[in-house]
Structure 1
Amino acid sequence: MTLSVLLIGFGAGTASALLYAAVASGSPLAVLLLYVAPLPILLAGVGWRHTAGLVAAVVAALALTVGVGPKTGLYYALVVGVPSWWLAYLALLARPGATPEQTEWYPIGRLVIWTAALGALLVTASIPLVATTLEEYRATLREVFSKAFESAGAAGAPLPTGQDPKALVDFMALVAPGVAATFWTASSILNLWLAGRITRASGRLVRPWPDLRGVSYPTTAAYVLLAAFAGSFAPGLVGLAAELFAATFLIAFALLGLATLHVATQKTPARGLILFATYAMLVLQPWIVVFLAGLGLGEQFFNIRRRFGPPPGGPPTAVANLP
């Protein structure tokens, strides 16, 4: 391990720890900073190999342990540090291809599936720390949100007129676990994409930029989504855990649906309008991810993109530069 790797890891870890610790201020901007806390780790890992990412994760965890407390440092390591290092490691994983001039890089689709699985696993693993039954878990969440709304009201931010506080608290307790898992998944994918774009712009990205329209998933991913959806009807914590996997894999297949839409419309004159309308609806009406995930499942089982021809061009090859 060179001195430059250590310095990069130290700087990235310090930046990540500061972003993570900013949430203590309680402002909306600080919450946004919390979701970009993995970015410095990913930048170090993707730009300077996984050893720099590991150094950054360790430095950040130690800094938070000393500066804030052991629980904060441990939680950071489990939720941000280790997953970010692992995703950066997989992003640069490669093996020799069919010829000496080619390299087979770790598929982007598998990276997306990893983020979906990790998002569900991390929230599922936190449940036993809160409660041992579903009723106790939701009661704890209701108490947390009740106190949060009371604090907001005391600070001059009351609920909108006509809003039933109890109904809102019950709703938040119901959807909070799934929202947390999907936010973790979506933000991790976005941070990984940003890390790749930044390192590519700086000339430090060793793998070729993939054609995201051609992303594909293992066949088992579709069965995981379907099984998780069926399992979400089970009672108790088992149903909740299945619900988390269904939510995060729904996000993954929505991305596959978007890739399918990009390919299916590539020869359509109104392509720009269709894509603009789709992305606008994603912002204004996020529930359409259900339909996009359905399109992604259709692509997985029926190979819809093949009917419209392959995407123009293809990802270039590169000499292996194993992390």
Structure 2
Amino acid sequence: MRGSPLLIGLGAGATSALLYAAAASGSPLALLLLYAAPLPILIAAAGWRHLAGLVATVFGAACLAVVVGPKTALYFTIAVGLPSWWLAYLALLARTGEGGVVEWYPPGRLVIWCAAIGALLVAASIPLVATSLEEYRAALRELFTKAFEARGGTPGLVPDADAKPLIELMTALAPSMAAGFWTASSLFNLWLAARIVRASGRLVRPWPDLRRIAFPNKAFIGLFGGFAGSLLPDLAGLVAELFAGTFLMAFALLGLAVVHVVTQATPARGLILVAVYGMLVLQPWILLFLAGLGVAEQIFGVRRRFGGPPGGPPATATANLP
């Protein structure tokens, strides 16, 4: 995979802008394309340094400004371009420690950044919809009501069933779920981009042991502060809920890392992991259990009992810094 950062950035920006613009159709497939929009920028920034990511962001926004409009270009820059560039920049950040050993930016901190950005982006979209909590929920309620009416009723309910309770539940959970899904999709895109760049031979940092990710102690602030702040009135409580949702997702990932470590000496490890990942797809409530396991790891260090303390990525003696 050769090419100059400028050309790679131009191509990545055009591709990312096309994926972002495709979401305008409103179909489920288009929504998936929207969440895939950061991937080209992440690949460009991870493989050709952050300059290529900046070029991709600027060029993608310019394409959208010309073809769609300046407002869409602004949304693309804030929601897709800059977060993707920043995450890739951090992923390649390194410093020289004692003995000339290069210390790379810890993967656990990247997870925390994804959680914080996910909450902030959804919070930033709230003023575009309403100026109060009631107005915001009313807008969501109307959106879900129209969606159910367009599909001819509520799937899974008997014909005469009242869809109102389900709509109210979705109205209450949708913001936090959207922020949590953004966090999960960002982490997946970052992982996939790194794998693609690694396969091309352009990944300058060694691949970290993701089973050993560790969060800074202040990560608790995002989780418990979010839950405590959700008791606040009006939009302040809603914004706190967003942080609670995204940090819950982050701690669930930490809990999943614990599962990988504690089962490594178990003969039925493969079966256990398949069951856990299968339940994540079929029964998403297991995220609560995994998040609790992640909190236990943060407090008690569960993994230390199963093969050494948690650590960061392996170090190398040389590296090309971004």
Fold match by TM threshold 0.5: yes
DSSP 3-state at the match of 2:121: helix
DSSP 3-state at the match of 1:132: coil
Partner of residue 28, structure 1: 28
Q: Number of matched residues?
A: 317
The answer as to 2:211 corresponding to 1:213 is yes
Q: Which amino acid aligns with 2:197?
A: T
CA–CA distance in structure 2, aligned partners of residues 75 and 290 of structure 1: 32
Please point out which of 248, 256, 268 is paired with 1:250: 248
TM-score with structure 2 length normalisation? 0.94
Partner of residue 9, structure 1: 9
Is this contact kept in 2: 1:199–1:205, CA < 8 A? Answer: yes
DSSP 3-state at the match of 2:103: strand
Q: Which blocks of at least 5 consecutive residues in structure 2 are unaligned?
A: none
Q: Which amino acid aligns with 2:127?
A: P
Q: Which amino acid aligns with 2:109?
A: R
User: 1:173 deviation in Å?
Assistant: 1.8
The answer as to 2:226 corresponding to 1:228 is yes
TM-score with structure 1 length normalisation? 0.93
User: 1:140 deviation in Å?
Assistant: 1.5
CA–CA distance in structure 2, aligned partners of residues 322 and 223 of structure 1: 31
Is this contact kept in 2: 1:96–1:320, CA < 8 A? Answer: no
CA–CA distance in structure 1, aligned partners of residues 26 and 122 of structure 2: 21
CA–CA distance in structure 2, aligned partners of residues 275 and 8 of structure 1: 38
After TM superposition, the structure 1 = structure 2 runs for residues 145-184 of structure 1, keeping only pairs within 5 Å, are 145-153=144-152, 158-160=153-155, 161-162=158-159, 163-184=161-182
CA–CA distance in structure 2, aligned partners of residues 296 and 240 of structure 1: 24
User: 1:294 deviation in Å?
Assistant: 0.6
Partner of residue 96, structure 1: 96
User: 1:168 deviation in Å?
Assistant: 3.3
After TM superposition, the structure 1 = structure 2 runs for residues 131-150 of structure 1, keeping only pairs within 5 Å, are 131-150=130-149
Q: Which amino acid aligns with 2:192?
A: L
After TM superposition, the structure 1 = structure 2 runs for residues 250-269 of structure 1, keeping only pairs within 5 Å, are 250-269=248-267
Is this contact kept in 2: 1:38–1:80, CA < 8 A? Answer: yes
DSSP 3-state at the match of 1:95: strand
Partner of residue 306, structure 1: 304
Identity %: 69
Partner of residue 120, structure 1: 119
DSSP 3-state at the match of 1:320: coil
Q: Which amino acid aligns with 1:305?
A: R
DSSP 3-state at the match of 1:268: coil
CA–CA distance in structure 1, aligned partners of residues 169 and 47 of structure 2: 42
CA–CA distance in structure 2, aligned partners of residues 28 and 128 of structure 1: 25
User: 1:318 deviation in Å?
Assistant: 4.2
Query: Could you list the per-position Cα deviations for residues 263-286 of structure 1 after superposition, in whole angstroms to 9, with x for gaps in the alignment?
Result: 111111121111111111111100
Is this contact kept in 1: 2:230–2:241, CA < 8 A? Answer: yes
User: 1:144 deviation in Å?
Assistant: 2.4
User: 1:224 deviation in Å?
Assistant: 2.3
User: 1:172 deviation in Å?
Assistant: 2.4
User: 1:46 deviation in Å?
Assistant: 0.3
Query: Could you list the per-position Cα deviations for residues 190-219 of structure 1 after superposition, in whole angstroms to 9, with x for gaps in the alignment?
Result: 000000000000000000000001100000
Partner of residue 237, structure 2: 239
Is this contact kept in 2: 1:263–1:310, CA < 8 A? Answer: no
Q: Which blocks of at least 5 consecutive residues in structure 1 are unaligned?
A: none
User: 1:146 deviation in Å?
Assistant: 2.7
CA–CA distance in structure 2, aligned partners of residues 297 and 230 of structure 1: 16
User: 1:125 deviation in Å?
Assistant: 1.6
Partner of residue 51, structure 1: 51
Partner of residue 68, structure 1: 68
